[in-house]
Structure 1
Amino acid sequence: MKYDHIQLAYFLRRKNRFVASCRLKENNEVVDVHVKNTGRGKEVLVDGALVALNFSSSTKRKTAYDLIAVKKQNHWYNIDSSAPNEVVFQALLNQTIALPELKGSITLVKREVTYDNSRIDFYFETDQAEKGFIEVKGMTLENENIGAFPDAPTTRGLKHIYELMQAQKQGMHNYVIFVAQFAEIELATIHETMQPELQSAVCRAMKEGVHFLCYASYVSATQLELTKEVPFVLDTPFKDPLK
């Protein structure tokens, strides 16, 4: 995932879930920007943080910039909620993501497919008549080289877990892929104290056969690229960096 029109800025404040105020590094102009992630992001979106803004010339937009990434210490964190889906989609097409327990090769991938009462990120088929769903989640919370999801309670994410369990019972192959927005993590888990019900649902889903995968990423101000798979270990303790 590459961005072609990046400008650097300093984060000032978040006005609401979708809009933030930033000061452009080049000329000190203060601009409103679209925040492409509704998570809290409080561990990275702090006053004065260096951020990457992607410019859009569209006249239909309320803001001319999207907030794409933020720098914390010496590392960039991509917070574009659409980026994880795009990099996973390309990896599926290139077959650089290996889905456990599939016998065949993926021959078809469809985006945003309705199942039950939700839209699941991807539906796939293989040359061995296998079918399944893949839900992608961006992981933006990290501490002590452990990535965790979620950074805020997610009703939608919980709903997806239950529906993937239902699809699993119908003989389909189902996966959740976490795209960690950082490279230097050793494993990933669910942030149980943030949403205990989600942790319980994931535990049940794993017993039903739903697979949970996590990929670390190389992140810069202009790019997000999958680098390696890291273990997903549900019972790993996670310390919230803000508590």
Structure 2
Amino acid sequence: MKYENIQMAYFIRRDNRFICHCQLINNKKIVTVHVKNTGRGKEILITGALVALNYQPSPKRKTAYDLVAVKKETMWINIDSQLPNQLAYDGILSGKIVLPHFPGQLLSLKREVTYGNSKFDLFAISDTGAKAFIEVKGMTLENKEIGAFPDAPTVRGLKHVNELQVAYDAGYFSYVLFIVQFEKIRLATIHNAMQPQLATSFATAMADGVEVLAYNCKVDPQEVTLKKQVPFDLTYPFVDPNALAD
């Protein structure tokens, strides 16, 4: 995934989930920016942080800029919430992302397929007739090379995990695929303290047969490249950097 028109800036403040203000480095102009992630991001969206803005002017837009990446110490973290689905789709098609225990060769891969009361991101069919639902989640929260999801409570995420378990029990292969939007990570986990019910639902679903995968990315301001699979450990005791800051 490449961004065609990146401009560097310094983060100033965030007004709400969707809007922030940044100062462009090249001309010192303060601009209104769309935040392409509704998560909290308090540990990275701090005054003075170096950020990457994608310049996309249009008469149909309220802002001409999208905030797509933030530099945390020496590491870039991509926060574009539209990116994980594309990386997952391309990664599965190319074979870089492997779905464990999914039999045969991939025959087709569709986006946004409804099952029950949920619309899952991807639906795969193999040449053996096996069918799989894949729900893709972006992961942007990090502390000491541990990645965690979510960084804010998610009703939608909880619903998807429960529905994946229903799909698995009905004979479908079911996966949660985390696209880790940064590179330096030793393992991924669920942020139990943020949403204990979600962690419980993951434990139940995984015990039943739903599989959880995580792949990290090489990130710079202009480009994000899927890198490799990283371990997922549901029981790892993640320490929230936002809680430390508070």
Aligned to 2:234: 234
Aligned to 1:28: 28
Instruction: String of CA shifts for 1:145-198, please: whole Å, max 9, x gaps.
Output: 111111110000000001000100110001001111221111111010000000
Instruction: String of CA shifts for 1:182-230, please: whole Å, max 9, x gaps.
Output: 2111111101000000000000000110000001111100111111111
In the alignment, the residues of structure 1 paired with residue 21 and residue 186 of structure 2 have an alpha-carbon distance, to the nearest angstrom, of 34
| Equivalent residues in 2 for 1:186-197, closer than 5 Å | 186-197=186-197
What secondary structure, in the 3-state scheme, does the structure 2 residue paired with 1:242 have?
A: helix
In the alignment, the residues of structure 1 paired with residue 113 and residue 206 of structure 2 have an alpha-carbon distance, to the nearest angstrom, of 22
Instruction: String of CA shifts for 1:90-134, please: whole Å, max 9, x gaps.
Output: 111111111000111111111111121221111110111010110
Aligned to 1:82: 82
Question: 5+ residue gaps in structure 2?
Answer: none
| Equivalent residues in 2 for 1:126-137, closer than 5 Å | 126-137=126-137
What secondary structure, in the 3-state scheme, does the structure 2 residue paired with 1:123 have?
A: strand
What secondary structure, in the 3-state scheme, does the structure 2 residue paired with 1:93 have?
A: helix
What secondary structure, in the 3-state scheme, does the structure 1 residue paired with 2:160 have?
A: helix
Aligned to 1:64: 64
Aligned to 2:98: 98
| Equivalent residues in 2 for 1:169-184, closer than 5 Å | 169-184=169-184
In the alignment, the residues of structure 2 paired with residue 242 and residue 169 of structure 1 have an alpha-carbon distance, to the nearest angstrom, of 37
Aligned to 2:185: 185
1:216 aligns with 2:183: no
Which AA in structure 1 matches 2:121? D
Aligned to 2:49: 49
Q: Is the 8 A contact 2:57 2:63 kept in 1?
A: no
Which AA in structure 2 matches 1:119? K
Q: TM-score by structure 2 length?
A: 0.97
In the alignment, the residues of structure 2 paired with residue 9 and residue 115 of structure 1 have an alpha-carbon distance, to the nearest angstrom, of 42
In the alignment, the residues of structure 2 paired with residue 5 and residue 45 of structure 1 have an alpha-carbon distance, to the nearest angstrom, of 21
Which AA in structure 1 matches 2:15? K
Aligned to 2:145: 145
In the alignment, the residues of structure 2 paired with residue 2 and residue 116 of structure 1 have an alpha-carbon distance, to the nearest angstrom, of 35
In the alignment, the residues of structure 2 paired with residue 54 and residue 115 of structure 1 have an alpha-carbon distance, to the nearest angstrom, of 35
Aligned to 2:159: 159
In the alignment, the residues of structure 2 paired with residue 30 and residue 145 of structure 1 have an alpha-carbon distance, to the nearest angstrom, of 33
In the alignment, the residues of structure 2 paired with residue 180 and residue 67 of structure 1 have an alpha-carbon distance, to the nearest angstrom, of 17
In the alignment, the residues of structure 1 paired with residue 171 and residue 154 of structure 2 have an alpha-carbon distance, to the nearest angstrom, of 27
In the alignment, the residues of structure 2 paired with residue 143 and residue 190 of structure 1 have an alpha-carbon distance, to the nearest angstrom, of 13
Q: How many residues align?
A: 243
Which AA in structure 1 matches 2:188? A
In the alignment, the residues of structure 2 paired with residue 20 and residue 119 of structure 1 have an alpha-carbon distance, to the nearest angstrom, of 30
Q: Higher mean Cα deviation, 175-184 or 191-200?
A: 175-184
Aligned to 1:16: 16
In the alignment, the residues of structure 1 paired with residue 164 and residue 240 of structure 2 have an alpha-carbon distance, to the nearest angstrom, of 28
Shift of the alpha carbon at 1:57?
2.6
Q: Is the 8 A contact 2:8 2:51 kept in 1?
A: yes
In the alignment, the residues of structure 1 paired with residue 223 and residue 116 of structure 2 have an alpha-carbon distance, to the nearest angstrom, of 35
How much is the aligned-residue C-alpha RMSD, in angstroms? 0.8
